[in-house]
Structure 1
Amino acid sequence: MLKLYGFSKVNAAARGHTRDLCVLWALEEMHLPFELVGMDHPAHDLNTDAYRRLSPFEQIPSIDDDGLVLSESAAILVYLAKKSGRLIPGDRAGEAQVVRWCFSAMNTVEPPLLRLLVLDWTADGNCGKHREFLAGWVNRVLSNLERWFSDHDFVATQHFTVADILMAHVLSSGIKDQGLITPYPGVASYRDRCLARPAWKQAFAAYGARVEAG
């Protein structure tokens, strides 16, 4: 059976925003059975030789699907979509668009959001110029997304795919200052539409009941 390595305990600030939620959401959408292996982050469960064989960078999530080992949330989602035949088109052109937007979520949209988030978390009040630069980067990315969503309900195809799981998660977990997204109602509506899906609500509720703040 597919094993998913996800958090059982994680620091309070990260709880509810970790990337294993993307995989849990996808598995709920796909109705795939799996065994959850809970990892205690404060107890350093990720920093062992055994876990490094699954995830070289000591990160969650990772999977072991009857000996096929994979880490990196985007790679896992594409693998599961192709395995299940769900949340990804069967034609090469459609699949290419999903892969394209999975990369976009992780490599184009998330970096400025994450950098601004970390700066606001760690800044000592002397980073005004740096923050101005990062806010401009965020606004450029969100402006481009806003234009895209003016005539797209979902990011990659006409239907919900794994690319939407990644993009919605990035837009949800990467934005703590809601003022950043307020000028972009199309992006906010897209995010909220994805997060209204029953599979997300079920996955998130189960995560909240299981994962402790450490």
Structure 2
Amino acid sequence: MLELFTSETPNGWKATILLEELGVPYKVTPISLTNQEQKTPEFLAVNPNGKIPALVDDGFAVFESGAILLYLAEKFGRFIPADAQGRSRAIQWVMWQVAGLGPMMGQATVFNRYFPEKLPSVIDRYTRESQRLLGVLDAALEGRDYLVGDYSIADIACFPWVRGHEWAGVTLDGLPNIARWMANIGARPAVQRGLLIPTPPTAEEMAAKTTTQGKSILA
């Protein structure tokens, strides 16, 4: 049995979307970031970096969301091209997301939403870089439905982060290829299911989470 330790974040949804697309049985263990459960000794035994998501497959632990996508795609032989060059292209976009789009949009979110002080120059730096990266993605989607031919882990890696663009303070204005791509992926039943795992927080819980994150962001 696969066991996924996760929370309701873009990186967490990458894993749940792929697991739902694969249609394989798995157990979900929700991790409360507000309560710092990702820093407990029990979780650190699975992921020494103390971040979600983490996957355990018959005692074998996999951490880092990009590594989880690659592990599952290769284990089940789906959502990754079979040829060497196609596989490389998919992995390149996964790496692009984990090294660029995710960190930049994550920092834009932190400084727009959670940081106790408003630092305009810092907010501008991360917002502009996030916007630039979205332009790169839009250009890559010109004339194609998905990033590397068929729908793959490349698209699954990027989708949850782009979906949260408003929360990060960036816009999809003038990016028609992304808008089309988002609509196509968002219509997939497995994607819709994956975005509900774990159960999304209520508006009241989100407000409390924002306050808590703002107080603890420097911890």
Structure 1 residue identity aligned to 2:33: H
Structure 1 Cα separation of the partners of residues 104 and 190 of structure 2:
28
Structure 1 Cα separation of the partners of residues 14 and 55 of structure 2:
13
Q: Percent identity?
A: 22
Structure 1 residue identity aligned to 2:162: L
Q: Which residue of 1 aligns with 2:215?
A: none
- Stretches of structure 2 that go unaligned for 5 or more consecutive residues are 210-219
Deviation at 1:98, TM superposition (A): 1.0
Work out whether 1:86 is the aligned partner of 2:78.
yes
1:97 to 89, 92, 102: 89
Which runs of structure 2 are paired with 1:35-114 in the superposition (5 Å)? Answer: 35-114=27-106
Deviation at 1:159, TM superposition (A): 0.5
Structure 2 CA distance for partners of 1:184 and 1:21, relative to 1, 3 Å:
same
Structure 1 Cα separation of the partners of residues 90 and 14 of structure 2:
15
TM-score (norm. length: structure 2): 0.82
Structure 2 residue identity aligned to 1:204: L
Structure 2 CA distance for partners of 1:128 and 1:4, relative to 1, 3 Å:
closer
2:180 to 182, 189, 203: 189
Q: Which residue of 2 aligns with 1:158?
A: 149
Q: Which residue of 1 aligns with 2:122?
A: 130
SS of 1:76's equivalent in the other structure is: helix
- Stretches of structure 1 that go unaligned for 5 or more consecutive residues are 8-15
Which shows bigger deviation, 16-25 or 74-83? 16-25
Aligned length: 203
Structure 2 residue identity aligned to 1:4: L
Does the 8 A contact of 2:30 with 2:198 survive in 1?
no
Structure 2 Cα separation of the partners of residues 6 and 131 of structure 1:
28
Structure 2 CA distance for partners of 1:185 and 1:39, relative to 1, 3 Å:
same
Deviation at 1:111, TM superposition (A): 2.6
Structure 1 Cα separation of the partners of residues 101 and 197 of structure 2:
27
Q: Which residue of 1 aligns with 2:107?
A: 115
Residue by residue over 1:189-208, the C-alpha shift from the partner in whole angstroms, topping out at 9 and shown as x without a partner, is 21232122110112223533
**Could you list the runs of 4 or more consecutive aligned residues of structure 1 that deviate by over 6 angstroms after TM superposition?**
none
